[in-house]
Amino acid sequence: EKGGHEYFMLKEIDEQPEALANTLRGHFEAGRIILDEQRISDQDLRDVDKVFVVACGSAYHSGLVAKYAIEHWCRLPVEVELASEFRYRDPVLDRDTLVVAVSQSGETADTLEAVRHAREQKARVLAVCNTNGAQIPRESDAVLYTHAGPEIGVASTKAFLAQIAANYLVGLALAQARGTKYPDEVAREFGELEAMPAAVQKVLSTVEQTRELGRRIADSRAVLFLGRHVGFPVALEGALKLKELAYMHAEGFAAGELKHGPIALIEEGLPVVVVMPSPKGRAVLHSKLVSNISEIQARGARTIVIAEEGDETVRPFADELIEVPAVPTLLQPLVSTVPLQVLAAEIARSRGYDVDKPRNLAKSVTVE
């Protein structure tokens, strides 16, 4: 059942292209984004004036990624909240607020309570879920299933990529309903999403080098992760994978925060993973990160750089370079997360840990 893989997680990493294709399937017909099985009306979407994404763990990171896209496409304010914080706060919601509750299992206690909290205040709740008929979709107004297939490994992989794609469908549906994107632009964005399974497949065909790197740094005491823009949540996700699988101290930071504290952690030989934006995207983002890498390298860090193929500027600053295919900026998390999953899994294996069942963790956190 592991399809020749040693662990379910490794199988699930390999299934990501198929999972993404399944998430997108059936959601673009006759030139329009079609949201969900249960339908949420266009009028409801038009009236939305604020979006909250509530979730935990990796699902929360998928929401952080979506914030960049939804704000850009829809010109709507987007707040991304840890469900465990949201549920005990007094968030400002009304019937024109769309709350997107993201959960692979659909059973996470805090996310479920966040859904109840939002509905009490008359917000509309859309669940993004991977498990048919789970409690969170049952208690939501509408549901968008990710269709990534069952995820057995405790560390989320294919469900995470599928959540990003599903959140993007929500963003495109909002843009379409609100008219902030023309139909041909929505079609183009969807077309770019549809090209992602092939891009992820390409990353998967080159992961051997990442595995080998994982084995070489498996004895490190800590690993830091830096990113900007959509690369920031990718850094958080890379650090979470490493914590949960390899029991290693790992932290993700927004690269712009370096001088506000984290740079003090840099010491000789400390591996620092840097998630680079495309050199063809916003030039300022790229050049800022290049200078961040040079600063940490000058202080002795061992830089591990995830960069777009052919990005020559970054080469001199990369002690280790992992190349990913060129894709539009907002879609980069779908390719740049994959090497970080592979890295964490390989470090954990090298340290002799069970990659599917990390200590102290459950697949679905149904108690607080």
Q: Enumerate binding residues for ligand M6R (CB under 6 A).
A: 56-59, 103-105, 108, 111, 154-156, 240, 244, 364-365
Least Å from the CB of residue 69 to ligand M6R: 19
Least Å from the CB of residue 239 to ligand M6R: 11
Would you say 105 or 210 has its CB closer to ligand M6R?
105
> Which has the closest alpha carbon to 194: 15, 13, 26?
26
* Residue 341 φ/ψ region, left for φ over 0, alpha for ψ in the -120 to 50 degree band, beta for the rest: alpha
Q: Which residues pair with 327 in a beta bridge?
A: none
Q: How far apart are the first and last CA of the chain?
A: 32
Alpha-carbon separation of residue 308 from 79, 276, 311 (angstroms): 29, 7, 6
Least Å from the CB of residue 360 to ligand M6R: 11
Alpha-carbon separation of residue 239 from 138, 232, 266, 367 (angstroms): 32, 11, 16, 24
Would you say 158 or 181 has its CB closer to ligand M6R?
158
Would you say 243 or 286 has its CB closer to ligand M6R?
243
CA torsion, points 124, 39, 192, 211, in degrees to nearest 10? 70
Least Å from the CB of residue 244 to ligand M6R: 6
Would you say 104 or 297 has its CB closer to ligand M6R?
104
Question: Is the CB of residue 216 less than 8 Å from the CB of residue 321?
Answer: no
Kindly give the interhelix angle for 158-178 and 57-74, rounded to the nearest 10 degrees: 30
Q: Is 241 a catalytic residue?
A: no
Question: Is the CB of residue 275 less than 8 Å from the CB of residue 238?
Answer: yes
Closest residue to ligand M6R in the complex (CB): 57
Dihedral sign from CA coordinates of 169, 173, 178, 183 = positive
Catalytic residue among 50, 288, 357, 363: 363
Least Å from the CB of residue 95 to ligand M6R: 25
Instruction: Just list the catalytic residues.
Output: 363
